[in-house]
Amino acid sequence: METTDMEKREEKSLNFLERIIEDDLANGRVPNNTIVTRFPPEPNGYLHLGHVKSICLNFGLAEKYGGRCHLRLDDTNPEKEDMEYIESIQRDIKWLGFDWGDYLYHASDYYDQLYKIAVNLIKEGKAYVDSLTPEQVREYRGTLTSPGRNSPDRDRPVEENLRLFEEMREGKHPEGKYVLRAKLDMASPNLNMRDPSLYRIKFASHPRTGDKWCIYPMYDYTHPISDAIEGITHSICTLEFEDHRPAYDWATSIDGIEHTPHQYEFARLNINYMLMSKRKLLNLVKLGIVTGWDDPRMPTITGIRRRGYSPESLRDFVSRVGVAKVESVVDYNLLEFCAREDLNKRALRYMAVINPLKVVITNYPEDKEEWFDAQDNPEDPQSGTHPVPFSRELYIEQEDFMEEPIKGYHRLYPGNEIRLKHSYYITCNEVIKDAEGSIVEVHVTYDPESRGGTTPDGRKVRGTSHWVSAKHGIDAEIRLYDKLFSTEYPGEATGNYLDDINPESLVVLKHCKLEPALKDAKPGQYLQFMRTGYFVADSVDHTSENPVFNRTVTLKDSWSKKAKKQK
Ligand code: ATP
Ligand code: MG
């Protein structure tokens, strides 16, 4: 009884792909009992969060079942593809923590084989060279409700097809003049089966094969055959390829192809307030709306890394989202929640004042300084401490002072006492203003007996402020990032996502004051600036002379509150 329950629970916790794989393994349907998956990006842009899901899934399944996962660059559109993208893809996958080992492939590795297979198809009367124009091809294809018509070239003799295909390869015909098509079924209810194109003419230099080819194979022909050649067992893709599965099965059953992989589809990752399409992301880059693919507001792996997310938090995010067969939209807050969960454990705590207000402690000696020990991370008992300097002149946040406090305000105001983190209690006595009446500085006195945050009389204060010693602190630029789009579904209202760019997605603050230990911060070190958020030194612009920090995410967590409320 108990075991059955256990088994049931276990089965329930498997996603549908894991169930398929376990079933295939248990029934001897997997050659050599070795699962082989692949991640097949087209190198026409940088990888984004949607790809993170696919990477974690493909590499994760291979890892879980002791198989392997290939990285295959699906490079069949030479005009849009670039070495920069090929390199970024590899860098990003490794950063996420996955490794394809010796199994790096390119669809272009198979161009010779694909060509030979096409020639064989022609010889067997299963493919023909078509001279219909692209418009005519569309017209002849028919619609979802009406069958297509055969092209007049469909019965072109084999010899002529062979000659024309050879001439296409030799560059004797201009782009668009001919395509090679499979002879399948123009009346098929599936449009992808109505004589799909296998090859088109394209006079474009390829990032890897250069000018060797001027005909390039189509996706529906290349992808399944590449899977077969590599011995892929489970070819996992997103739902939009479901309609292509019959074409996939046709291509993998062509005579002479020995291994038969199978295609499985899952729901793509969508996140509100974000765009998840390389084409649209490229457009943002081209239009200069962002500074590049690595702009910290981009949903690209490189952007998110620069923003300060860890690979662990992205993997956690993807695993919380899960794998399903139904499309859904994931809440952006879940992504930030995962960042906070992870950064809370690992980020080192520092004090930084982003909107500085000068505070002078009138009863603190001018030339005196003290160094307090600040714990690097209170969440981590193993963590050490670092010294923080204290002196007569400090900066606190402007928002931590109000000349005329509103009701419920417990921070600094004339006559009120607060605690300065790690150090002393101070009381505000005087507000100094300039000729225009703007506050220049605030004068306070400190209680020498409150060192370390308690007093002999045990009196309590309600506010605690972070601070930076004016004499010791360093100046820095801080970049506060927010969502790139201000609406949940960019472009929904007007049809143009550019209408929904959030004008406040980046706020740059100069002359922020940071405690001096941050002088040595390096990109890749996860930081928390107390009370303001998680930060990271910018991997592009930060130097120790001109420090620049990016806010990864605020400390406030609206996701878990929302989740609790819903419960
Ligand atoms: P885009 O539309 O952004 O260009 P794509 O699907 O064209 O994406 P590919 O480079 O062809 O990008 O994708 C590589 C793999 O990543 C494919 O298997 C694809 O199914 C998967 N993938 C792409 N976008 C997502 C997504 N949003 N969620 C999950 N997987 C995705
Ligand atoms: Mg694509």
**469-484: pLDDT as tens digits:** 999 999 999 999 999 9
pLDDT above 60: residue 8: no
**42 alpha carbon – ligand 2 mean position (Å):** 6
Share of the chain above pLDDT 90, in %: 92
**Predicted pLDDT of residue 129:** 98
**Other CB atoms within 10 A of residue 286 CB:** 9
Return the H-helix or E-strand segment holding 4.
Answer: helix 2-13
CATH architecture type of domain 32-266: 3-Layer(aba) Sandwich (3.40)
352-466 CATH, one of 2.60.120.260, 2.40.240.10, 2.60.40.1180, 3.40.1260.10: 2.40.240.10
Inform me whether the pLDDT recorded for 247 exceeds 80: yes
Query: Which ranges of 203-353 would DSSP assign to H, the alpha helix?
Result: 219-230, 245-252, 278-286, 301-307, 311-321, 332-346
**Are 299 and 281 spatial neighbours (Cβ–Cβ below 8 Å)?**
yes
Residues 512-540 have a mean pLDDT of 96
Q: Is the CB of 137 under 6 A from ligand 1?
A: no
* Residue 477 falls in which region: left (phi positive, over 0), alpha (psi -120 to 50) or beta: beta
The one-letter code for the residue type at 338 is: C
CB 310 within 8 A of CB 342: yes
C-alpha to C-alpha distance for 265 and 17, rounded to whole angstroms: 9
CA of 50 to the centre of ligand 1 (A): 6
Distance from the alpha carbon of residue 1 to the mean position of ligand 1, in angstroms? 43
Q: What is the DSSP letter of 271?
A: B
Which of 48, 51, 88 to mutate to test ligand 1, by most ligand atoms within 8 A of the CB atom? 51
The confidence score (pLDDT) of residue 565 equals 65
Q: Which atom of ligand 1 lies closest to the CA of 40?
A: 14
Write the burial class of residue 401 (CB in 10 Å: 0-12 exposed, 13-18 middle, 19+ buried). Answer: buried
Mean of per-residue pLDDT scores for the chain: 95
Annotated catalytic residue 268: yes
Which of the following is catalytic: 278, 419, 479, 483?
278
Quote the pLDDT of residue 557.
65
The helix/strand/coil state of 450 is helix
Pairing of the two strands 179-182 and 104-106 = unpaired
> Which residue among the candidates 156, 268, 421, 562 is catalytic per the annotation?
268
Q: Are strands 439-447 and 356-361 parallel, antiparallel or unpaired?
A: parallel
Strands 104-106 and 68-73: parallel
- Tell whether the model's pLDDT for residue 13 goes beyond 90: no
pLDDT for 452: 84
Active site residue 278: yes
CA dihedral sign of residues 207, 212, 218, 219:
negative
Residues of the chain with CATH 2.40.240.10: 279-348+476-566, 352-466
For 369-473, where are the E strands, in sequence order? 370-375, 385-390, 393-397, 417-420, 425-433, 439-447, 464-465, 468-469
Atom number in ligand 1 closest to CA 43: 10
User: Region 83-108: what's the mean pLDDT?
Assistant: 97
Q: How confident is the model at residue 315 (pLDDT cuts 50, 70, 90)?
A: very high
Spell 530-547 as b/e; 16+ CB within 10 A means b: bbbbbbbbbbeebeeeeb
CA 239 from chain centre, in angstroms, equals 20
For residue 405, the 8-state DSSP code is P
Question: Measuring CA to CA, which residue among 225, 234, 228, 288 is closest to residue 259?
Answer: 228
pTM of this prediction exceeds 0.85: yes
User: Read out DSSP for 220-244?
Assistant: HHHHHHHHHHHT-SEEEEEGGGGGG
User: 440 and 424 in contact (C-beta within 8 Å)?
Assistant: no
42 lines ligand 1 (CB under 6 A): yes
**Tens-digit pLDDT profile for residues 372-408:** 999 999 988 899 999 999 999 999 999 999 999 999 9
Query: Does ligand 1 come within 6 angstroms of the Cβ of 223?
Result: no
Please list the residue range(s) of the chain that carry CATH number 3.40.50.620.
32-266
Question: Which residues, in sequence order, are CB contacts of 130 under 8 Å at separation 6+?
Answer: 137, 151, 153, 154, 178, 179, 180, 181, 195
Testing ligand 1's pocket by substitution, the residue of 52, 54, 236, 271 carrying the most ligand atoms inside 8 A of its CB is: 54
> How far apart, in whole angstroms, are the C-alpha atoms of residue 44 and residue 393?
54
* Structure-block tokens of residue 22: 């376990």
Amino acid identity, residue 336?
A: E
Is-contact 551 528, C-beta < 8 A?
no
* For range 181-199, the mean pLDDT: 97
**pLDDT score at 109:** 97
**And the tokens for 385?**
């401490």
Residue 276 Cβ contacting ligand 1 at under 6 Å = yes
Q: Note the residue count of the chain.
A: 567
**CATH hierarchy code of domain 279-348+476-566:** 2.40.240.10
Confidence (pLDDT) at 11: 52
- What single-letter DSSP state applies at residue 108? G
pLDDT at 1 over 50: no
Closest-approaching ligand to the CA atom of 280: 1
Q: Which positions ≥6 away from 96 have C-beta within 8 Å? A: 52, 55, 56, 301, 311, 314, 315
Report the amino acid identity of residue 91: R
d(CA 289, CA 367): 49
Contacts of 501 (CB under 8 A, 6+ apart): 289, 484, 485, 486
CA distance 59 to 266: 15
Placement of tokens 């200069």 in the chain: 288
In degrees and rounded to multiples of 5, residue 136 shows phi and psi of: -65, -40
